[in-house]
C-alpha cells in the first residue's frame, strides 16, 4: 500500500494562552499544500514483525523516535493483529519547517494501517490517535482547509480557497525546534481569542495588514534571513506572505498571471504550488 501525504501551511497563527497541561491554546487556519512525501507499507510473513527504512532528505532522529514508527506502535498496542510490516518513507517535505510533514507522514501511517488491517476506526477515533502523536496530526485526517483551536485538534472545515492564486513555498534549510519556538512567545503578546475567523473572511488584499503569525517576531529576531524571504516576497508582488507554523518556511501568495523571477540561494527549497 502506497500513500503520498501532503503538507500544510498556516494562514494566521495566534497563541491565545498557556494551558495547565503545559501546552498552548491557539487558533489557526490549516491549508493543505500539494508538496508530498511517500509512505509505503508492505505486509507479508517474510518479514519479522516490523522494519523501517527511509530515503530522500536525511531524518536526524533515531528510528524509535521517528513519528511514523511511533504511529505504527501506537496502533499495534491496541490492535496486536498488526504485524509483519515493512515500512518505507521517502522524505521530500522540509523538516522543522512549519509545514507539518512529519505529522502528515505519521497520520498517513494511521490511515493506511486502518485500511489494510480493516480496523474500522471512525474519523473521530483516528483523530484521537493522531493527537497522541502531535498537535498538527489530527488535521491530516480531514486534510481540507480547517479552522483549528485548542491545541490544534478541534477542527472546523472552513471555506478558504486559494485555487485562483499561485503560492511560492520557500524554506531556507533552517530547522526550528517547535518546543523552543513556543518558549520564545512572550505571554504579554498572546492574541485575543476569536479574531481569526473574522480576519480570514476579509478580502485577501487586506490580509497583509491583519492576518498574522505570532511566531514571526521571535523567529525573525533569531533568524533575520527568514524575514528577508518574506520581505522579498512582498518586494516581488506578493498579495500576502507569512511564515508557516513555527517556521522556517515562508510562503507567498501571488496572482497567477504574475511572472515571478526571484532568485534565492541554491540550498533553499523553493516550489510553486
**Where in the sequence numbering do the catalytic residues fall?**
8, 136
* Euclidean distance between CA atoms 17 and 162, whole angstroms: 29
Checking 210-213 for CB contacts under 8 A at 24+ apart, the result is 211/11, 211/12, 211/240, 211/242, 212/12, 212/13, 212/14, 212/242, 213/10, 213/12, 213/13, 213/242, 213/243, 213/244, 213/245
* Overall residue count recorded for the chain in this entry: 273
Distance of alpha carbon 53 from alpha carbon 42, whole angstroms: 12
248 cis-preceded (ω within 30 degrees of 0): yes
Amino acid at each position: 500500500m502506497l500513500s503520498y501525504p501532503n503538507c500544510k501551511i498556516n494562514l494566521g497563527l495566534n497563541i491565545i494562552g498557556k494551558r495547565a497541561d503545559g501546552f498552548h491554546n491557539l487558533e489557526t487556519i490549516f491549508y493543505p499544500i500539494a508538496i508530498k512525501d511517500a509512505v509505503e507499507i508492505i505486509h507479508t510473513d517474510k518479514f519479522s514483525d516490523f522494519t523501517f527504512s527511509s530515503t530522500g532528505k536525511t531524518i536526524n532522529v533515531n528510528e524509535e523516535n521517528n513519528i511514523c514508527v511511533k504511529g505504527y506502535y501506537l496502533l499495534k498496542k491496541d490492535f496486536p493483529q498488526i504485524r509483519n510490516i515493512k515500512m518505507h518513507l521517502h522524505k521530500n517535505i522540509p523538516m522543522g519547517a512549519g509545514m507539518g510533514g512529519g505529522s502528515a507522514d505519521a497520520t498517513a501511517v494511521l490511515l493506511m494501517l486502518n485500511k489494510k488491517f480493516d480496523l474500522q476506526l471512525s474519523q473521530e477515533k483516528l483523530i484521537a490517535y493522531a493527537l497522541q502523536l502531535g498537535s498538527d496530526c489530527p488535521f491530516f485526517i480531514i486534510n481540507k482547509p480547517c479552522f483549528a483551536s485548542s491545541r490544534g485538534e478541534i477542527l472546523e472545515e472552513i471555506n478558504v480557497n486559494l485555487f485562483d492564486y499561485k503560492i511560492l513555498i520557500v524554506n531556507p534549510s533552517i530547522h526550528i525546534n517547535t518546543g523552543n519556538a513556543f518558549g520564545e512567545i512572550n505571554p504579554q503578546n498572546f492574541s485575543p481569542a476569536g479574531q481569526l475567523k473574522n480576519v480570514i473572511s476579509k478580502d485577501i488584499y487586506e490580509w497583509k495588514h491583519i492576518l498574522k503569525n505570532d511566531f514571526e517576531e521571535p523567529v525573525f529576531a533569531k533568524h533575520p534571513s527568514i524575514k528577508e524571504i518574506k520581505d522579498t516576497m512582498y518586494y516581488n508582488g506578493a498579495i500576502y506572505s507569512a511564515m508557516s507554523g513555527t517556521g522556517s518556511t515562508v510562503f507567498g501568495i501571488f496572482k497567477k498571471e504574475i511572472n515571478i523571477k526571484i532568485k534565492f540561494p541554491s540550498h533553499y527549497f523553493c516550489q510553486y504550488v
